[in-house]
A and B are shown apart, each in its own frame.
Chain A
Amino acid sequence: MSAESMDRSRPNRRPARRRLRVDPQGLAIHAILIAVSAVIVSPLLWMVVTSMKEHQDVFTQSLWYIPPEPKLLENIQHVFDRIDFFRYFFNSLFVSTAITLLDLLFASMCGFALAKYRFPGRQIVFGSIIATMMIPFIVILVPQYILVRDLGWLDSYAGLIIPAAISSFGIFMMRQAFLSTPDELLDAARIDGAGEWRILFQIVLPMHVPPLVSLAILRFLGEWDNLLWPLVVTNGESMRTMSLGLALLQDDRYGTDIPMLMTAATMALFPIVLVYVFLQRYFIKSVAGSGLKQ
């Protein structure tokens, strides 16, 4: 069909007017969805509301009380007084971004090889990678710490980033995504003169943006929230991450300044919300498409 005839065949009618009908099933589904959303969103809202309160308001006023003069700026000032917020924020941003980018790179490379090349032991390699997903992190925490210590990476970006720079989940996810790439496309590229690296980076990866973005979000969120490993591997002030900083704001002896803690948490949440808002279209596409749940 030529371009003109395609244009001509496009329907040019006005859409039929929608009639408002009561759909009991739809109403019920939406009522449930709204109720569940409320459960998920209310702690976040409470966090934001609390960041405007004074310390005593938390215990004396109602849950959703917003003072007539919100104390948000004072609370932010308190956060800056107590911890080196920008340093922690930068560390978290740098470490999470580096881990995400490295994992995207390595997971696509491994996933591509496992999905598209035939080599002896491929299934065993893939099976072993999947098997590592079943080992809880807490089990390898100590050996990993000893390894990192022996490499001299304690209290360094290397110690924070390199052990997490490749994930079996990422490999699994990218392999599943690449399986759907037709072999003929790779053959066509080979005949066109592309080498294997070019095929991966110029042909295959641009076709799989949704799973890449999805993996990026999952990894970034996971690393941004990560508390245990940074806690173990860092000692000094300069290498602390945001989640460690938030933990430091909790004071067991004199009671935690909850509005301040919530203010810091709100500020720490900011990049995650931004990442999600910009990339959620791809994220939903990928998760819905691959049937993966996380």
Chain B
Amino acid sequence: MARVEIVRLEKSFDETEVVRGIDIDIPDGEFVVLVGPSGCGKSTLLRMIAGLESITDGEIRIGDKVVNDVAAKNRDIAMVFQNYALYPHMTVAENMSFALKLRGEPKATIEKAVKRASSILGLDELLQRYPKQLSGGQRQRVAMGRAIVRDPKVFLFDEPLSNLDAKLRVQMRSEIKELHQRLKTTTIYVTHDQIEAMTMADRIVVMQAGLVEQVGTPLELYDAPANVFVATFIGSPSMNLYNGTIENGEAGLVLRMDQGAVLPVPQDCPAVAGHKVVFGIRPEDILIADGPGVVARISTVEPTGAETLLLCKVGDITTVVISRTRPTVGPGDEIALSFPAERLHLFDQATGRRL
């Protein structure tokens, strides 16, 4: 187990900057998820931590030791890949013991380590099988077994669940989380799926275009996104966003939507009159008003059982409303929406930063 520090890390391929000065400090035993859209540099960052990609500038420290020039095999890390990367001509047991054999560990130690890992992951019955004889979930478990066997300082996961079907993904998600709670090894996990990030992480690092947009616990990111990008990226369905202007109302500041409606502003709003803002509200925070409110026309109703998703138009902006009350409305109906002031997120229109 070890602390991982990433200091002003940069990576360019020829002229293209992929990682543009990243600082992250991961304390010992933490489960950190790097999340962001495709091409944001998260996998490159992980590969740099693994030692599979050279570092253009900056520093990576694992357990207080700078590892910039340390080969992957000497960093004491283990990595689980998206397509499992199991050696196809080796049995499960051979796959899991390969690293220890190369390290020259005695046979008894290897057997013990493989046994321990296979019992943790429920692989005892499969040890003599070849990867092609396993299902996707089993292969993923073997890939994790291969990582556990080495008892590394840091676990790295590179989109390990992307190739699994939805049901298995949910199951493996909790298995990985349980595994971390049991082993308490520092873990860095890369995914583009924000639900995976929310459900698994101690802390999430949201990345975009080679930069860190925000670092925080899942709920910090959900409740107080630092900018418009994080606001839309975290949460599913994503936050509804509208443009508006802060104005002086009769009883203090108000928010005038570009669509015309006037809303109260949150109490601690630092904006001044005339400030152009983007404001957002989560679908589950919108209420269907009995009286006057923001007028919306329903285009689709999606009942999921526990809740109902209403897709509607406020002006020309698509708005998603999650209702737990099973409203009796249909497409084409007009409803009034209420946006509680304390649930609004305000961002500067020019910079996109949270106010």
CB distance from A204 to the nearest CB of B (A): 10
B:126-167 near A, CB below 8 Å: 126, 135, 137-138, 146, 150
CB distance from B84 to the nearest CB of A (A): 8
Are B125 and A192 within 8 A (Cβ)?
no
Binds A, one of B96-104, B188-196, B233-241, B276-284: B96-104
CB distance from A38 to the nearest CB of B (A): 40
Binds A, one of B73-81, B219-227, B298-306, B325-333: B73-81
Q: Which residues of A contact B86 (CB under 8 A)?
A: 188
Q: Which residues of B contact A190 (CB under 8 A)?
A: 51-52, 71-73
Are A192 and B89 within 8 A (Cβ)?
no
**Residue with the greatest number of chain A CB neighbours at <10 A, chosen from B52, B71, B88, B138:** B52
Of chain B, the residue at the smallest CB distance from A206 is B89
CB contact under 8 A between A182 and B85, given known A188-B79, A191-B79, A194-B102: yes
Are A207 and B73 within 8 A (Cβ)?
no
Of chain A, the residue at the smallest CB distance from B99 is A192
Q: Which residues of B contact A203 (CB under 8 A)?
A: 87
Are B52 and A187 within 8 A (Cβ)?
yes
At the interface, yes or no: B55 with Cβ under 8 Å from chain A? no
**Residue with the greatest number of chain B CB neighbours at <10 A, chosen from A3, A192, A198, A206:** A192
B:43-87 near A, CB below 8 Å: 47, 50-52, 71-73, 77-79, 81-83, 85-87
Partner of B98, one of A2, A6, A182, A192: A192
Of chain A, the residue at the smallest CB distance from B87 is A203
At the interface, yes or no: A1 with Cβ under 8 Å from chain B? yes
A:268-294 near B, CB below 8 Å: none
**Residue with the greatest number of chain A CB neighbours at <10 A, chosen from B89, B103, B126, B137:** B89
Chain B: interface residue total (CB-CB under 8 A): 29
Complexed CA–CA distance, A191 and B126 (Å): 24
- Which range holds the interface residue count of chain A? 10 to 19
Q: Which residues of A contact B87 (CB under 8 A)?
A: 185, 188-189, 203, 207
At the interface, yes or no: A143 with Cβ under 8 Å from chain B? no
CB distance from A145 to the nearest CB of B (A): 43
Are A191 and B50 within 8 A (Cβ)?
yes
At the interface, yes or no: A150 with Cβ under 8 Å from chain B? no
CB contact under 8 A between A187 and B102, given known A2-B125, A193-B73: no
At the interface, yes or no: A252 with Cβ under 8 Å from chain B? no
At the interface, yes or no: A69 with Cβ under 8 Å from chain B? no
At the interface, yes or no: A81 with Cβ under 8 Å from chain B? no
Are A207 and B89 within 8 A (Cβ)?
yes
At the interface, yes or no: A251 with Cβ under 8 Å from chain B? no
CB distance from A106 to the nearest CB of B (A): 22
Q: Which residues of A contact B98 (CB under 8 A)?
A: 189, 192, 194
Are B72 and A184 within 8 A (Cβ)?
no
Are A184 and B88 within 8 A (Cβ)?
no
CB distance from A48 to the nearest CB of B (A): 40
CB contact under 8 A between A1 and B85, given known A190-B73, A198-B102: no
Residue-wise interface mask of A (163-187) relative to B, using a CB-CB cutoff of 8 A (1 in contact, 0 not): 0000000000000000000101101
Q: Which residues of B contact A184 (CB under 8 A)?
A: 81-83, 85
CB contact under 8 A between A191 and B135, given known A184-B82, A185-B87, A203-B87: no
Complexed CA–CA distance, A203 and B88 (Å): 9
Complexed CA–CA distance, A2 and B126 (Å): 9
Complexed CA–CA distance, A202 and B3 (Å): 33
Residue contacts A-B, CB under 8 angstroms, 11 given:
A182-B85, A184-B85, A187-B81, A187-B85, A190-B72, A191-B50, A191-B52, A191-B78, A192-B146, A193-B102, A207-B87
Interface residues in chain B, defined as those with a beta carbon under 8 Å from any beta carbon in chain A: 47, 50-52, 71-73, 77-79, 81-83, 85-89, 98-99, 102-103, 125-126, 135, 137-138, 146, 150
Known: A1-B138, A188-B86, A191-B52. 17 other contacts (CB 8 A): A1-B135, A1-B137, A3-B125, A182-B83, A184-B82, A185-B87, A187-B47, A187-B72, A187-B79, A188-B146, A191-B51, A191-B73, A193-B103, A194-B102, A203-B87, A207-B87, A207-B88
Interface residues in chain A, defined as those with a beta carbon under 8 Å from any beta carbon in chain B: 1-3, 6, 182, 184-185, 187-194, 198, 203, 206-207
Task: Please provide the 10 A-B residue pairs with the shortest distance between their CB atoms, ordered closest to farther.
Answer: A192-B99, A188-B85, A193-B73, A193-B102, A184-B85, A206-B89, A184-B81, A185-B85, A190-B72, A1-B135
